[in-house]
Structure 1
Amino acid sequence: MSHSVDGTTRNETYDFVVVANRLPVDRVVNDAGESSWKRAPGGLVTALAPVMEAADGAWVGWHGAPDEEVEPFENNGISIVPVPLSESDVNLYYEGFSNSTLWPLYHDVIVAPRFHRAWWDRYKKINQRFADATAAVAAEGATVWVQDYQLQLVPKLLKDVRPDLKIGFFNHIPFPSVDLFAQLPWRKRVLEGLLGADLIGFQRPSDASNFLRAVRRILGFTVRGQQIHVQDAQGNPLRIARAEAHPISIDSASISRMAKDPKVQARAKEIRRGLGNPDVVVLGVDRLDYTKGIRHRLKAFGELIDDGRLEVGGAALVQVASPSRERVGEYMKLRDEIELTVGRINGEHDTVSHTAIRYLHHSYPFEEMVALYLAADVMLVTALRDGMNLVAKEYVAAHVDNKGALVLSEFAGAADQLKHAFQVNPHDIDDLKDTIVAAIALPEAEASRRMRIMRRQIATNDVARWSRKFLESLAKTDDELSLDARNRADEERAGHAAADLIRPRKPDDADNE
């Protein structure tokens, strides 16, 4: 940052800037009506806070209240740069284009996306607002990391006015196949926006591959491996951008510490008592979203009771569905369907002392969530499409006792890392039912073996490693990238040569020598 001769701050700029739809703080109001800010929960904040504190960092984002201007401030060593949004901005940019156009399109059209020019126009306007705020606070040569699908135009808008910046972008949700993405009327503008970044990160290799195919087919740019030869409007080469998989993770160490807290363990036992001490507690934890497969797991669980394979009192399902986008029509419809399904199953099967499904439409403190993880014998993660699903990893991190079983959708990004979960296609209800029963019946020794392997995986690949690896890759220069490419080519040639040396010789090989 810059300072005048009298020591006052002037034109504050920062060497590391994170740009996200939301700021890493929540407003809290005490009993006296006085408001203050506290650090928001979540893996992204946990991962980036130490980096920002060490690198003179700022976070650009919306503070969560429409039609309100907030001056920049500092919180726990992070400089906060609020970007204001009006109620109309929230309706058109966020609930409209971001969550009723991009979200369903990027999640394989589970719900049909809607395309409205007014939403797109506001999306462009808000992305420009975020880019302007970022350009104003980024120091010369700063590193800027843009987060998620709400801000896909920001990288190019920044690069156009600040070519000195090193820009990264990370997409926290899936990237669709090119055939689905091609439905977007503004597909070229979105791809061009993302290619303003030097590095575009995705949760899964398949997402990065989908993006590279879209760039090749829709923009016609040359793609070699993970490198994209970005061109200007006249087809002249500008620079090279890269698309890579960098799967996000969790702060596994802090979750494990919390799970060892005697108070949290006592709360887990209390939860089981409150359910009537069933033999098996099955748990689902999700935002109330149509991508999460909540209806599929309720159907499977209800049919298991209908079939007599599970009985109320012996097994109980706890479904936490935290409120989400409650003003969007599809989400209101989903809530009605889920609550009707839960009511029907409980009405048919509940006893005086036990309930089949305990449905909780609330958000809970994280300590309560860890207690729920500990209380659960089986965790159901049945997402129909998910960029990662950190709940699956949190459940594993919480089970310091190496107990429990995880049923995990193969369509969640976490399935790439958690190979020892019971992986399932949630659309196949019969297979989902069989998998739930197999997880419940899993012998203790086998459950412990699977859990130990999964815990080791997430402890090694935690959220701090995710941010470090992404930023290390972003920091690479063109010369380093060229050297890496040459080294890989040399290794491949050496491998081919070695294969030729050990290849069994045919009789006619000797004759030809």
Structure 2
Amino acid sequence: MRLIIVSNRLPVTIDDVPGSGHKRSIGGLATGIDSYIKRIKLAQTDFDEYLWFGWPGASIKKEKREAITEECIARYSYHPVYLSKKLIEGFYQDYCNKVLWPLFHCFPDRITYDTNSWKYYQEANEIFYLELKDKIKDGDVIWIHDYQLMLLPQMIRKDFPNAVVTFFMHIPFPPINLFNHLPKMEQEGLLNGLLGADVIGFHTQDYTQDFKRCVSKVLQIDCSQQTIRKAQRKIKVDVFPMGIDYQEIKKTAKSEACTLIKAQVRKDLPACKIILSVDRLDYTKGILNRLIAFNKFLELHPELTGKVVLMLIVAPSRGQIESYKQMKRNIDEWVGRINGTYGTHTWCPVIYQYRQYSFLELCALYGISDVALITPFCDGMNLIAKEYIASNETDRGVLILSEMAGAIHELSEALAVNPFCPDELVSALTTALAMPAEEINRRNKKMHLRLRSYDVLKWADTIFTTTSKTVENRYGNKKKVLNAMIRKAKIDQYRWADSEPVLAVL
């Protein structure tokens, strides 16, 4: 059985020189799916092969595309989907970044609407479909990811009515009062597009319910049951909070290379408590509010002069957009203001890095930091919060986490804060830096257990098991066909059942 993965971007950036090096992405989507692919290669899943479709991250000249595609398939089982510069601008920059991203993150005032961008969005999804169309075989499971490709499930369903399609949304889904900001035609197009899938997954129950309310109000479809019925099909909409590769993170955190980086950082900051902030540049992340809160914290605690630092890591993102350029200027100004006001000739309260960090470097910073300050205004999940806990032993590291992040539902022992309220951040910092080791251990043990038991591999397995069960009952047939994808789950259920077992033909 083959798994076809479809995402807006491939996990590598490819230039137009065949045979050249390819830069890997360290984003949550790419890293998480890579962990599952390793399982496929080790024959530890029901899939015996995979193919990953996505934009290569750059414009490739037409005469070079064939050679690059052959190389990518041979080296990685990646299939590039080529988009013109004009289409990238209209589809990705205009519609995805300026309409869907702010709308889905509850920032309607940041929407910049261009009537042509919807056409580009449709065209880009169509190009993805045309690349897929000739590659789809009977028995394939098609796994589509995120808000850039919401029309794709329906396009597949139209020509392949029996295709097995699952869709996962990595960002929040907006409530109906915000979704209504879109023109009616676009609302219907996006929702019908998603309903082409057999399973639609979200990180949290809130996002799931918001999606169902939108389907109910906009499409007038009953969403009161566990499944949605459309054109005699049953569609499962459910919660699948994305996990992390817990074991790989623990392995990396304990590696010699990671230990050396930790030792160097600690040598540079021998007497300081370290507060870590890691984000890519985006208005949804609450970076400025974090700096305002840290400024107030230093004002209220002069006794901590020279004893605490904020390590602010900001990964470059969407630097071509003017509003993001202004955001970076504002961050630069606040860092300068804090360091100028409170710094001494031997101490700099904010250590600011505007660059991409490798996974190894991040694991080292997670492990050396006393506090993680993760306070987005709105975030689908936030895997950094999970990685921070996993990188530390249970008796160290305090997590301060926004109550607006999807991860808060699983990391309930973190210090939850309202990211819009600087006073709450100041209070949480004060509590975190003074928290006894016993209390840290009590909180972190529970979070470690959760992250270890429901990791990224369990996340993917749960999605595919749900997909298999949904496809079996797609048309409401009473006859049940048990396939390899859920056989193990059924055997385990039988093996550990407390009640009298019910036998099934395997």
Q: Could you state the TM-score of these two structures normalised by the residue count of structure 1?
A: 0.86
Shift of 1:77: 7.2
Count of residues in Structure 1 that have an aligned counterpart in Structure 2: 462
Deviates more, 1:248-257 or 1:17-26: 17-26
Q: Secondary structure at the match of 1:121?
A: helix
Aligned mate of 1:263, from 240, 257, 260: 257
Summarize deviations over 1:225-282 as a string: whole Å, max 9, x none: 231121xxxxxx331212111010111111111111233123213213323x233100
Q: Distance in 1 between the 2:287 and 2:203 partners?
A: 22
Per the alignment, residue 123 of structure 1 pairs with: 121
Distance 1:111 1:399, change over 3 A: farther
Root mean square deviation of aligned Cα: 2.2
Per the alignment, residue 211 of structure 1 pairs with: 211
Structure 2 residue 350 is matched with structure 1 residue 361: no
Aligned mate of 1:420, from 407, 413, 428: 413
Deviates more, 1:209-218 or 1:468-477: 468-477
Shift of 1:27: 4.2
Give runs of aligned pairs for residues 145-294 of structure 1, distance below 5 A. Answer: 145-185=143-183, 186-230=186-230, 237-275=231-269, 277-294=270-287
Decide whether the 8 Å contact of 1:318 with 1:358 is kept in 2: yes
Summarize deviations over 1:201-243 as a string: whole Å, max 9, x none: 001010000000000001101113231121xxxxxx3312121
Distance 1:440 1:106, change over 3 A: same
Among all aligned residue pairs of Structure 1 and Structure 2, give the percentage whose two residues are the same amino acid.
33
Distance 1:310 1:208, change over 3 A: farther
Summarize deviations over 1:435-474 as a string: whole Å, max 9, x none: 1110111001111121121111101110000011001111
Distance 1:154 1:91, change over 3 A: same
Per the alignment, residue 22 of structure 1 pairs with: 9
1:296 corresponds to which letter in structure 2? N
Distance 1:257 1:361, change over 3 A: same
Distance 1:110 1:179, change over 3 A: closer
Deviates more, 1:115-124 or 1:104-113: 104-113
Q: Distance in 1 between the 2:108 and 2:32 partners?
A: 26
Q: Distance in 2 between the 1:189 and 1:29 partners?
A: 34
1:254 corresponds to which letter in structure 2? E
Structure 2 residue 336 is matched with structure 1 residue 371: no
Distance 1:367 1:202, change over 3 A: same
Summarize deviations over 1:158-192 as a string: whole Å, max 9, x none: 11111121111100000010110111111111101
Decide whether the 8 Å contact of 2:165 with 2:199 is kept in 1: yes
Decide whether the 8 Å contact of 1:71 with 1:81 is kept in 2: yes
1:316 corresponds to which letter in structure 2? V
Normalized per residue, the structure richer in strand is: 1
Shift of 1:141: 3.6
1:200 corresponds to which letter in structure 2? I
Q: Distance in 2 between the 1:326 and 1:351 partners?
A: 32
Gaps of 5+ in 1: 1-13, 231-236, 485-513
1:430 corresponds to which letter in structure 2? D
Shift of 1:477: 4.0
Per the alignment, residue 55 of structure 1 pairs with: 48
Shift of 1:115: 1.9
Give runs of aligned pairs for residues 335-484 of structure 1, distance below 5 A. Answer: 335-400=328-393, 402-477=395-470, 480=473
Structure 2 residue 78 is matched with structure 1 residue 80: yes
Q: Distance in 2 between the 1:212 and 1:464 partners?
A: 27
Q: Distance in 2 between the 1:292 and 1:105 partners?
A: 15
Summarize deviations over 1:283-313 as a string: whole Å, max 9, x none: 0000111111111111111111122356331
Q: Distance in 1 between the 2:194 and 2:40 partners?
A: 23
Shift of 1:67: 3.7
Distance 1:168 1:184, change over 3 A: same
Q: Secondary structure at the match of 1:35?
A: coil
Per the alignment, residue 35 of structure 1 pairs with: 20
Deviates more, 1:51-60 or 1:72-81: 72-81
Q: Could you state the TM-score of these two structures normalised by the residue count of structure 2?
A: 0.87
Per the alignment, residue 135 of structure 1 pairs with: 133
